[in-house]
Amino acid sequence: MAINRRNFLAATGAGAAMAALGVRTSSAQAAYPNRPITLVVPWGAGGGTDATARSIAALMEKELKQPVAVVNRTGGSGVVGHSAIATADPDGYTIGMVTVEIAMMHHQGLTQLSPADYTPLALLMSDPPAIHVKADGPYKDLKTLADAIKAAPPGKIKASGTGQGGIWHIGLIGWLQAMGLKFDHVAWVPSNGSAPAMQDLAAGGLDLVCCSAPEGRALAEAGKTKTIVLMSASRNPVFPNVPTLKEAMGIDYTAGAWRGLAAPKNLPANVTAALLKAIDESFKSKEFNEFAESRGFGKLYYPGAEFAKFMDSESKRMGEVIKALQRA
Amino acid sequence: MDTFLEALRLVGQPDVLLTILIASIYGLVVGALPGLSATMATALLVPITYYMSPIAAVAAIVSASGMAIFAGDIPGCLLRIPGTPASAAYTDEAYTMTRKGQPELALGICLWFSALGGIVGTIALSVLAPTLAEFALSFSTFEYFWLAFLGLMCATLVARASPIKAIASMLLGLAIACIGVENPAGVPRFTFGVPDLLGGIDVIAALVGMFAVSQVMNAMLTPDPPPVPKRRMGSILAGQIALTRRYPVQQARGNLVGIAVGALPGAGADMAAWISYSISKRFSREPKKFGTGHPEGLVEAGASNNAAVASAWVPALIFGIPGDTITAIAIGVLYMKGLNPGPTLFTQNASSMYAIYAIFLIANIIMIPLGIMMIRAASQVLRVPRAYIMAVVLLLCAVGTFASGNNLFAITTAAAFGLIGFTMERFGFPVAAMVLGIVMGTMVEQNFVTSLIKSDGSVLPFVQRPVSMILATMTIAALLWPVVAWLIRRRNGAGVAVSA
């Protein structure tokens, strides 16, 4: 296998640089990992992606017997960090957390980077969109909200949750289209993330907010807002009273803001295997389960090739919605 | 009572007390180094809090961020390089006091009124948290628009330069705030295909460039200023009691504004300092003295920004909505430690809540002795030849801007804004007004556009909602006042001319 890989590289690379890379890979193959690993996070310290990365890094450390250091590479709305992962040496010593934005940004013309620029390792989390309404407002459940939306003229009902064309906007569009409505039947009010949108919902400035259930948790517990639906295949044990879209309306539509681990393209097969094994053990560990549960994060595990397939189909689906949005 | 004793036990743990002490010193040092900000100090703590007990983790963030906000005043006062955006509003004033030979008085004001402001803010946090939270939740985008607009108008009040130049700087700041994709339409603006510009201009990097880098460039061109007379620095706290007696209204007003502005999500300590400094100038009996090393504005703004640091935790703890960039990071740590923000924190985890209050109090009290030591150590820089200091400052600028996001582009940004700031200063344009434009620009635009989308293009809700009506009246009154004052003056002047 090792020899095949080297022959392959020598044949396609046809240059001193590639040959050198081949030699270096083979020396790394001696005992991977033999030095600390860097895990790049494209988002800031303290956020959900950062917390997931730090949690899995601490567990992988035990499996790989080498330190796994989390580095936040922020800037450029996530482009900078994602590009840092894709352009690192594919030696297994730089891996990173890729998020749903990687399947969206290239359609939006923000970057050339796409899922094809990575060696997918494993999908870890997917948070489905949830719909939140004001607790003392006119909508007591999804049914009343859906009826009100259908009855209202286009653009009357106002929703928010993230920026224009962000993941929660796309999640909402999916639901509207599944109900046979146009994607802009509900007007989207762009916001800088879910926190200001939830605040504005509580202040009475919006009709509904579409963002993940954990992001609305504190306000829901305070009795200011309520979460009426989860666009996922099954209920979340942290929010046992929130029905899925299928249960509430019989609509079979799911979506999610996902995050997973990936490495630069052309990662040697034995390194991929070693990493996958460590990720597998870490994902199944009690600690990781407790972490996901305490935060209310939706776990979803697609190792290796399955993650590649998943990213591909996500990219296609996002592309269609984003094109429709851009034409409008 | 039991929960209260339990809280004291939690805080009394040796690891927690040790954390408060070490994090305080860390916060003081990071905040006092020009170019390193309070937000960066907090972000760098996150990986370490991972290995701490929940209360110790919160203690680390509370102590480090509070100390860093105060310590940001030190380089502002001694070198005219504010350590944090919250100090930028009154840096010129504090530096002028130092040049007048009163560094101990200026730094003493910053320390004393910061600590008192922090304590008042903590009391507000513990007593008024639910009320304040309700108040914060009544603000929709319409109210935020007026608030941000009011903030922008501080530009002309704070600057000593001509109002026209101040407004020009502020408008340039607004133009810079347009850069990036984080605008209501989600369309990249002025990014020139550079991915690093997609996220917009980082305020911290711009601030470091405009204040620190440009100050270094200035120092290379101008001869050393006459050295501050060599003498032992006087007592730092002496005179503070007298000032407290002399400016009780200013202090109370600063505290109140700080608490109110801090509790509003997204506003934070920077905005509190700006608004308080300009309120102080507007209502002062001696507004002419502002900018000439006058303590009044320092008292009010210092009292305000540290009160805001504490009250920014109100929406964070109750609703999980960050009050500023520091609490945005803190919320992540709270979740990681199982102290999920929300009302359940007050009911199920009441002892942890009381423990957090206690940590705030302890941190603000030990700020006074630790701060005095820090000021004494830092004031040695006045004796070191400037050439040596400036080299170190430049190095720290590079390290500081790089460290928060591990992004080299931040250093380029700081360098570019160094050039911009240097050029502006040369031609008498106040850089502080431009910082204000950059900080407030996104807020003004975002809230204006989203409000219009929500109201289907109608401007009526901007003046119809009760709170927005009050804010609108204040803004328009402040906008028209100079014109009215000018007209009255002219009429009186004309009257005098006729009678003569």
Query: Could you check whether A2-26+34-125+257-327 and A129-249 share the same CATH topology?
Result: yes
pLDDT, one tens digit for every residue, chain B (500 residues)? 677 788 888 888 999 999 999 999 999 999 888 878 888 888 888 888 888 888 999 999 999 998 998 898 999 898 888 877 778 888 888 999 988 888 888 999 999 999 999 999 999 888 888 787 888 788 888 988 998 888 888 777 666 667 888 889 999 999 999 998 888 888 889 989 888 888 889 888 888 898 889 989 988 887 776 666 555 666 777 788 888 888 989 999 999 999 988 888 777 788 888 889 988 988 888 888 888 888 999 999 989 988 998 888 888 888 888 877 788 888 888 888 878 887 777 777 788 888 999 999 999 999 999 999 999 888 888 788 888 888 889 998 998 888 877 888 999 999 999 999 999 989 989 888 888 888 888 889 989 999 999 999 888 889 888 888 988 998 888 778 777 877 887 877 654 444 43
pLDDT for res B268 = 78
Q: Which of B175, B174, B132 is nearest to B153 (CA)?
A: B174
Q: Which domain holds residue B436?
A: 2-226+238-454
Q: Decide if B100 is inside a domain.
A: yes
Q: Cβ of A217 and B342 within 8 Å?
A: yes
Name the residue among A47, A74, A203 with its Cβ closest to that of B140: A203
Distance from C-alpha of A308 to C-alpha of A315, rounded to nearest angstrom:
11
Q: Which of A316, A304, A312 is nearest to A116 (CA)?
A: A312
A83 contact residues in B (CB cutoff 8 A): 195
Instruction: Write down the domain spans for chain A.
Output: 2-26+34-125+257-327, 129-249
Contact predicate A87/A313, CB 8 Å: no
DSSP, collapsed to helix, strand or coil, labels residue A263 as strand
**Are B398 and B465 part of one and the same domain?**
no
- CB of A132 within 8 Å of a chain B CB? The answer is no
Distance from C-alpha of B210 to C-alpha of B423, rounded to nearest angstrom:
10
Q: Decide if B500 is inside a domain.
A: no
Q: Cβ of A217 and B450 within 8 Å?
A: no
CA B52, chain centre distance (Å): 28
Q: Cβ of B450 and A295 within 8 Å?
A: no
* Cβ atoms < 10 Å from Cβ of A300: 18
Q: CA of A86: how far to CAs of A41, A94, A110, A189, A315, in Å?
A: 12, 9, 16, 33, 17
B202 contact residues in A (CB cutoff 8 A): 75
Q: Decide if B47 is inside a domain.
A: yes
Place of tokens 């801007």: B401
**Are B476 and B374 part of one and the same domain?**
no
**Are B29 and B77 part of one and the same domain?**
yes
Interface test mutation site (partner A, options B314, B327, B454, max chain A beta carbons within 10 A): B454
Distance from C-alpha of A99 to C-alpha of B230, rounded to nearest angstrom:
58
**Are B340 and B305 part of one and the same domain?**
yes
Which mean pLDDT values do the consecutive 10-residue runs of chain A (328 residues) have? 42 41 47 92 86 93 92 85 94 95 91 94 95 94 95 94 90 93 92 87 93 91 93 92 94 92 95 96 94 89 95 92 82
Q: Number of Cβ pairs closer than 8 Å across A and B?
A: 162
pLDDT for res B47 = 82
Q: CA of A281: how far to CAs of A49, A56, A66, A178, in Å?
A: 20, 10, 15, 38
**Are B417 and B483 part of one and the same domain?**
no
The CATH number of A2-26+34-125+257-327 is 3.40.190.150
- CB of A189 within 8 Å of a chain B CB? The answer is yes
pLDDT for res A98 = 96
Chain A residue nearest residue B183, CA to CA: A163
What is the homologous superfamily of the domain A129-249 according to CATH? Periplasmic binding protein-like II (3.40.190.10)
Name the residue among B186, B318, B406 with its Cβ closest to that of A71: B406
**Are B253 and B347 part of one and the same domain?**
yes
**Are B475 and B408 part of one and the same domain?**
no
Q: Cβ of B328 and A74 within 8 Å?
A: no
Tally of domains in chain B: 2
Distance from C-alpha of A314 to C-alpha of A115, rounded to nearest angstrom:
10
Q: Cβ of A195 and B265 within 8 Å?
A: yes
**Are B478 and B424 part of one and the same domain?**
no
User: pLDDT for B30-42, tens place per residue?
Assistant: 988 887 888 888 8
Name the residue among A76, A158, A206 with its Cβ closest to that of B195: A76
Query: How close, in Å, is residue B307 to chain A by CA atoms?
Result: 22
Q: Which of A171, A169, A38 is nearest to A97 (CA)?
A: A38
Burial class (CB in 10 A: 0-12, 13-18, 19+), B139: buried
User: pLDDT for A69-78, tens place per residue?
Assistant: 999 888 788 8
**Are B404 and B438 part of one and the same domain?**
yes
**Are B393 and B470 part of one and the same domain?**
no
pLDDT for res A30 = 61
Q: Decide if B233 is inside a domain.
A: no
**Are B476 and B329 part of one and the same domain?**
no
User: pLDDT for B158-209, tens place per residue?
Assistant: 666 678 888 899 999 999 999 988 888 888 899 898 888 888 898 888 888 9
ipTM for the assembly: 0.79
Name the residue among B184, B344, B453 with its Cβ closest to that of A221: B344
**Are B417 and B472 part of one and the same domain?**
no
- CB of B6 within 8 Å of a chain A CB? The answer is no
Q: For residues B459-480, b (16+ Cβ closer than 10 Å) or e, as one string?
A: eebbeebebbeebbeebeebee
- CB of A230 within 8 Å of a chain B CB? The answer is no
B positions 51-110 inside 8 Å of A (CB): none
